[in-house]
A and B are shown apart, each in its own frame.
Chain A
Amino acid sequence: MRSRKTPWLSVALWSLLSFVTLFPIYWMFVISMKAPVELFSTPDILLRSLDWSNYVEVLESPTLRGYMVNSLVISSGNAVLVTALGFLACYALTRYDLPGKESIFFWTITNRMAPPAVFLLPLFLLLTQVYRIGDFSLLDTRIGMILVYCTFNLPFAIWTLRPTLDAIPKELDEAALVDGASAWRVIWDVILPLARPGLAVTLILTWVFAWNEYLLAATLTNFTARTLTTGLSEYVTTTGTAWGIMAAISVFTLIPALIVFSLVQRHIVTGLTFGAVKG
């Protein structure tokens, strides 16, 4: 063993960056623990007492509970759908000789090139006018929001998954075909396990996009499919802003994200295809 000097500079830099990123979260937590009266007295960044009343209020509100469920259903539904579709799209893009496939691949990303606000009106018309059967329209439905987020997340999924699938040698597909697998078996038994790290990254990032999205959720939902992020804004009213409640809601939005991250993160490992082919 070689003794090494402690790299003080790195440690200092690392501590500074951690402080900068973590401090707002800490402060949010402090705010959520205070009654409104306390908040508007002298600002104080220390946690003096634990006052859970904001959390109780959030949890006891059926509306907010509904928003939380909506957020979970929409983000998870969207992330799973988009990752599955993106995976299949990339399988086709990397395995088949499709005429013009490079153009298809390139143009999908254009959906991400304009700010989402540009798509507000077309999406609104799509949900209210195009996809409607009698009185039923996709506006203000969870499934509607899941599909809306596909517009932005699917191109992203295709672009992140492409290199993953490109890196899986095609000879593995061929070996499996010769070994008697059907096309679906090849995807399920060979490609899917090897694409796991890429799928995990895609799942997390698309989930976070839908979970944190505000603009589209605020305009394309009224009540039934409203999400937590839009719920936040309901506490900014003409009579004042309920900072404590908002901070408590924010903590509630943070927790599921952390859980999803920790569940998916262990699949992000490298070197899965090592040993498949040599030469």
Chain B
Amino acid sequence: MATVQIRGVTKRYGGVQVMHGVDVDIEDGEFVVLVGPSGYGKSTLLRMIAGLEEVSGGTISIGGRVVNDMLPKERDIAMVFQSYALYPHKTVAQNMGFPLLMQKRPKAEIEEKVRKAAEILDLTKYLDRYPRQLSGGQRQRVAMGRAIVRDPQVFLFDEPLSNLDAKLRVSMRVEIKELHQRLRTTTVYVTHDQIEAMTMAHKIVVMRDGRVEQIGRPLDLYDRPANLFVAGFIGSPAMNFLEGRLATRDGRRVVETADGTALPLEGAAAEDGRRVTYGIRPEHISVGEGGIPVKVSVFEPTGSETLIFGRLGGQLIDALVRDRIEGEPGQTLPFRIDPRRAHLFDTATGVRL
């Protein structure tokens, strides 16, 4: 187990800079999730930690040692690839034992450790099979087995669940989390799925375009997103954004949209007239007396909750409510917004106000 420090790391491919000075601190035993849309440098950063990709600038340290110029084998890390990358000509047992074989451990020890890992991952029955004889979920577990047999300093996961179907993904998510609670190995986990990030991480690093947008605990990111990008990315369904200007009405601060609707606020540290984006999560809107009238276009009942899509003066807004609301499209419903849950961003810069 070890800490990982990433300091001012940049990455260039030829003339193209894809990483612009990334700083992340990972504590000993922490489960950190790198999250962000596709193509924004998550895998690149992970591969730089693994030593599979050269670092163009800045430093990466594992356990206090700068590893920039170390070979992957000298870094004592284990990685689970998105494609699993199992050795097709080796059995499950040989795949899992390979890292130990490379460390020239005695045969009995290798067998023992492989057997233990197989037990943890429920693979005991499959030890003599070849990867082609396994299902996707089993292959995924073999890839994890290969990582855990050798008790590395750091685990690196690159979207390990994205090839699995939705149901399996949920159960593997729980398994990985349990595994981490048991082994307490420092883990860096890459995903573009914000639910995975929210449910698994101690700390989330939101990346965009080779930069870190925000680092924080899952609920901190949910409660206080630093900018529009993080606000829109974290949380599902996504946060509603309504554009308007700050104003004072009847002595209360509000955000006034173009059609004159006043959106409630609780304290706002900016001057009237400023162009702002008002953010409110669908789950923080309820339907009831005294709400803002919204013209509803679609109802999506899922059983436990109902997602209501509507328009407020031309801007889209949706609400997620626990009640079973039945209505006709085109109907107008009063949306009640909890002002304490509203977020305010500067429209021009996207920064939280």
Contact present for B73 and A182 (CB under 8 Å): yes
- Report Cα–Cα, A197/B40, bound state, in Å: 39
Q: Check B85–A275 contact: CB distance below 8 A.
A: no
Instruction: Give the interface SS of chain B, mostly helix, strand, loop or mixed.
Output: loop
CA distance A34 to B153 in the complex (A): 77
Which residues 174-209 in A have Cβ within 8 Å of B in the complex? Answer: 174-182, 185, 189-190, 193-194
B99 with A180: CB separation less than 8 A: yes
The reply to whether A178 and B50 contact each other, CB–CB distance below 8 Å, is: yes
Q: Is B21 an interface residue (CB 8 A)?
A: no
Please tell me which stretch of B119-127, B129-137, B205-213, B270-278 contacts chain A, meaning at least 4 of its Cβ atoms lie within 8 angstroms of it: B129-137
B331 within 8 A of A: no
Report yes or no: B88 in contact with A180, Cβ–Cβ below 8 A. Answer: no
Nearest-neighbour CB distance to chain B for A266, whole angstroms, equals 15
* Alpha-carbon distance between A269 and B52 when the two chains are bound, in angstroms: 31
Q: Does B102 contact A (CB under 8 A)?
A: yes
Contact code string B70-89 (vs A, CB < 8 Å = 1, else 0): 01110001110111111111
Whether the Cβ atoms of A278 and B84 lie closer than 8 Å is yes
- The reply to whether A178 and B72 contact each other, CB–CB distance below 8 Å, is yes
Q: How far is the CA of A274 from the CA of B81 in the complex (A)?
A: 16
Contact with A along B59-71 (1 / 0, CB 8 A): 0000000000001
A176, A180, A275: the one within 8 Å of B134 (CB): A275
Does chain B have a CB within 8 A of A129?
A: no
The smallest beta-carbon distance between B88 and chain A, in angstroms, is: 4
The one of B72, B86, B103, B162 that contacts A275, using a Cβ cutoff of 8 Å: B86
Q: B146: CB under 8 A from chain A?
A: yes
Residue of B nearest to A183 (CB): B71
Complex contacts, A190 vs chain B, CB 8 Å: 87
Contacts of A175 in B (CB 8 A): 79, 81, 85-87, 146
Please determine whether A180 and B130 come into contact, CB atoms closer than 8 angstroms: no
Flag if B88 contacts A279 (CB, 8 Å): no
Given contacts A179-B146, A275-B139, contact A171 B85 (CB under 8 A): yes
Q: Are B163 and A274 in contact (CB under 8 A)?
A: no
Given contacts A169-B85, A179-B102, A180-B99, contact A279 B162 (CB under 8 A): yes
The answer on a CB contact under 8 Å between A277 and B83 is yes
CB-defined contacts of B87 to chain A, threshold 8 Å: 172, 175-176, 189-190, 276
CB pair B71 A177 closer than 8 Å: yes
A277 to B103, CA, bound (A): 25
User: Could you say which of B72, B133, B139, B150 contacts A278, with CB atoms under 8 Å apart?
Assistant: B139
Within 8 A of B (CB), among A122-180: 169, 171-172, 174-180
Query: Contact between A274 and B85 (Cβ–Cβ < 8 Å)?
Result: no
Contact B103–A180 (Cβ < 8 Å): yes
How many angstroms from the CA of A172 to the CA of B86 in the assembled complex?
A: 7
Q: A273 at interface (Cβ–Cβ under 8 A)? A: yes
Q: Which of A181, A274, A277 is in CB contact (< 8 Å) with B102?
A: A181
B345 close to chain A: CB less than 8 A:
no
Residues of B near A189 (CB, < 8 A) are: 87, 98
Q: Is the CB of B85 within 8 A of A194?
A: no
Q: From known contacts A169-B83, A174-B81, A177-B52, infer whether A279 and B146 are also in contact, taking CB-CB under 8 Å.
A: no
Can you list, as one digit per residue, whether each of B282-295 has a CB less than 8 Å from chain A (1) or not (0)?
00000000000000
State A185–B51 Cα separation when bound (angstroms): 17
| Choice from A181, A273, A274, A275 contacting B73 with Cβ under 8 Å | A181
**Number of A residues with CB within 8 Å of any CB on chain B:** 26
A279 and B81 alpha carbons, distance in the complex (Å): 11
Cβ contact within 8 Å between A275 and B79: no
| Smallest Cβ-Cβ distance to B53: which chain A residue | A174
Cα distance, A193 to B88, chains bound together (Å)? 10
A254 at interface by CB-CB < 8 Å: no
B82, B88, B163 pick with most chain A CB within 10 angstroms: B88
Our pick among A174, A185, A193 for the contact of B85 (Cβ within 8 Å) is A174
Contact A194 B81 (CB under 8 A): no
Nearest-CB residue, chain B, relative to A192: B89
Asked whether A277 lies within 8 Å of B84 as measured between CB atoms, the reply is: yes
- Return chain B residues, CB-CB under 8 Å to A25: none
Interface string of A239-279 (1 = CB under 8 A from B): 00000000000000000000000000000000111111111
Q: CB-CB < 8 A to A174: which residues of B?
A: 50, 52, 72, 79, 81, 85
Q: Residues of A contacting B52 with CB < 8 Å?
A: 174, 177-178
Nearest CB on B from A248, distance (A): 44
Asked if A185 and B131 make an inter-chain contact with CB atoms under 8 angstroms apart, the answer reads no
Q: In the complex, which residue of chain A has the Cβ closest to the Cβ of B78?
A: A178
Instruction: Determine the chain B residues whose CB is within 8 A of the CB of A274 once the complex forms.
Output: 88, 132
Report how far A278 CA is from B130 CA in the complex, Å. 14
Residue of B51, B71, B73, B77 most packed against chain A (CB within 10 A): B73
CA distance in complex: A171, B131 (Å): 15
CB<8 Å pairs between A and B, sample of 14: A174-B79, A175-B81, A175-B146, A177-B52, A178-B50, A178-B77, A179-B98, A181-B73, A190-B87, A194-B89, A275-B130, A275-B133, A275-B139, A279-B162
- Report, nearest first, the 8 A-B pairs whose CB atoms are least far apart: A275-B132, A277-B83, A275-B131, A180-B102, A175-B85, A171-B85, A179-B99, A276-B88
Chain A residues with a Cβ under 8 A of chain B = 169, 171-172, 174-182, 185, 189-190, 193-194, 271-279
User: What 6 additional pairs, Cβ within 8 angstroms, besides A174-B79, A179-B99, A193-B89?
Assistant: A169-B85, A174-B52, A185-B102, A194-B88, A275-B88, A276-B84
